[in-house]
Amino acid sequence: MNGHSYCFTVAKPFDIISGDMENLNSIWQQAVSILEETLPESKKQWIKRINFEKEENGKIILSLSSNFYKETTEKNCKADIENTVSEIAGCEIHVEFIVNTARKPSPKQTTKEIKKEKKEPVSHNTTLNKQYSFDNFISGDNSSFAFNACKVIAQNPGTSFNPCLIYGGVGLGKTHLLESIGNYIDEHNPKMKIIYTTAESFTNEFIDSLLSKEKISSFKAKYRNVDVLLIDDIHFLQKKDSTQEELFHTFNELYDNHKQIVLTCDRPITELTDITDRLKTRFRKGLNVDLQPPAYETRMAIAMQKCRERGYQIDQKVLEYICQNVNTNVRDLEGALTTLSSFATLVGKPVTLDIAKEQLKNFIVTPAIRNSDISIDMIIHSTAAYFNVKEYDIKGKSRNKNITLARHISVYLASELTSYSLSEIGKMMNGKDHTTIMYSVEKIKSILETDDSIKQAVDTIKQDLLNS
Ligand code: ADP
Ligand code: MG
């Protein structure tokens, strides 16, 4: 079972053969505790949703609240479950999954949630946004390492993984995880002083403080006397030399006093430009974890959770369509759900698949263009010719302005015109990682909104490629 082996002690012999439901239910409950401790995070989330339904002919019948949950759980966890219940029982036991739409996701989870609702959180740390927690973060293979690391940090602030840097493209959950660390610590260690801020607010506050001596000393005192400092989007600090200098001293003071520091960034530290090396070295100490875009199953789980949280009524087939096609990031996924739900409310009827296709045009890249025969090499060739730079420079590391722009545009066009994933594009661009690729795509998207000459360049190269 997953390479692990377990030794179980069974308190009393179970009367499996006679089909004692009490016993099979009790075996199931023990199995849940073991599975919740031993399975990887990506599988645990499915276990939480299972309900014990009944015993039938010596088999355990388990239910899930939708067909999607049933199929995914069956695919991912059936073998683990059967191994565990069989080991507990000391004989082979099979499980079968059914759908029971009347069931809540999990009685265990529900009780926990009710308890939590009753306990009014006393927040001393007003910079935190309470809507983000580990409980409402769905972890998949794309995020389980970052998710687990953040939980360990929250449970033992200042002792392990200090500092920690979470990096990844837009909308992948960096802020969610950072705030969850703060909220968890605030709930379990209410005396700890926690500051959540963005690098932009930190910069503005610092500039503001320069007006007087009192202000600067209260700024320093504020940031150097915390137990936990959470700074979001540190890429914003590029080119802000004095703020970097201030953060450098803040960092050292906190670090030397074993205070927890967690930072987020939209790309790996190595890709940051215009940040002093000594600050980069500080950021790279400790643990660096990345967030990747979620796979289909995780997108489905996130979408279903968002619908439950926000009371959206969206048909299963439509949800599947959304999750198959909106694959960029979780923010876009949320945007697609909100668009459809608002549409349904406005027209007063449920959204059909055809309506969804029409409404989500902006979220989904047209397959007709993506299926063309354009290769990444063709894109690099045309872009290099347009900007009069060498093709190998586009794949290289030169920081020359013209080459960097041509590189970003090549990546953007590769994401627009080919069906390669961001990671695949990265590999073909001399092994750049997916986050760097996503950064280029986002960068060009935002430039296209404001810079007509670059928009014209991109359109010309694109048209040439489509005509070729
Ligand atoms: P980032 O800071 O990386 O740009 P955010 O943390 O702001 O992204 O996430 C964008 C939105 O997507 C937020 O509403 C967040 O709650 C949601 N989100 C992102 N990842 C997940 C996840 N794994 N599970 C649930 N919600 C998520
Ligand atoms: Mg963010």
The answer to whether the CB of 315 is under 6 A from ligand 1 is: no
Give the count of alpha carbons within 13 A of 357, CB side only.
6
C-alpha to C-alpha distance for 83 and 123, rounded to whole angstroms: 44
Q: Which ligand is nearest to the CA of 235?
A: 2
| pLDDT value at 13 more than 60 | no
Predicted confidence (pLDDT) per residue in 197-221, tens digit: 999 999 999 999 999 999 999 999 9
| pLDDT value at 8 more than 60 | no
What confidence category does residue 372 fall into, taking pLDDT thresholds of 50, 70 and 90? Answer: low
Predicted confidence (pLDDT) per residue in 390-408, tens digit: 988 898 888 899 999 999 9
**Which atom of ligand 1 is the closest one to the Cα of 172?**
3
C-alpha to C-alpha distance for 156 and 110, rounded to whole angstroms: 27
Nearest alpha carbon, ligand 1 atom 25: 137
Average pLDDT over residues 222-235: 96
**Which atom of ligand 1 is the closest one to the Cα of 168?**
3
What confidence category does residue 89 fall into, taking pLDDT thresholds of 50, 70 and 90? Answer: confident
**Which atom of ligand 1 is the closest one to the Cα of 178?**
6
Residue 267: C-alpha distances to residues 50, 65, 359 (Å): 37, 38, 32
Distance 383 CA to ligand 2 centre (A): 31
Residue 221's pLDDT is 95
Q: Are the C-beta atoms of residues 189 and 157 closer than 8 Å to each other?
A: yes
Q: What's this model's pTM, rounded to 2 decimal places?
A: 0.61
Distance 132 CA to ligand 1 centre (A): 9
What confidence category does residue 104 fall into, taking pLDDT thresholds of 50, 70 and 90? Answer: low
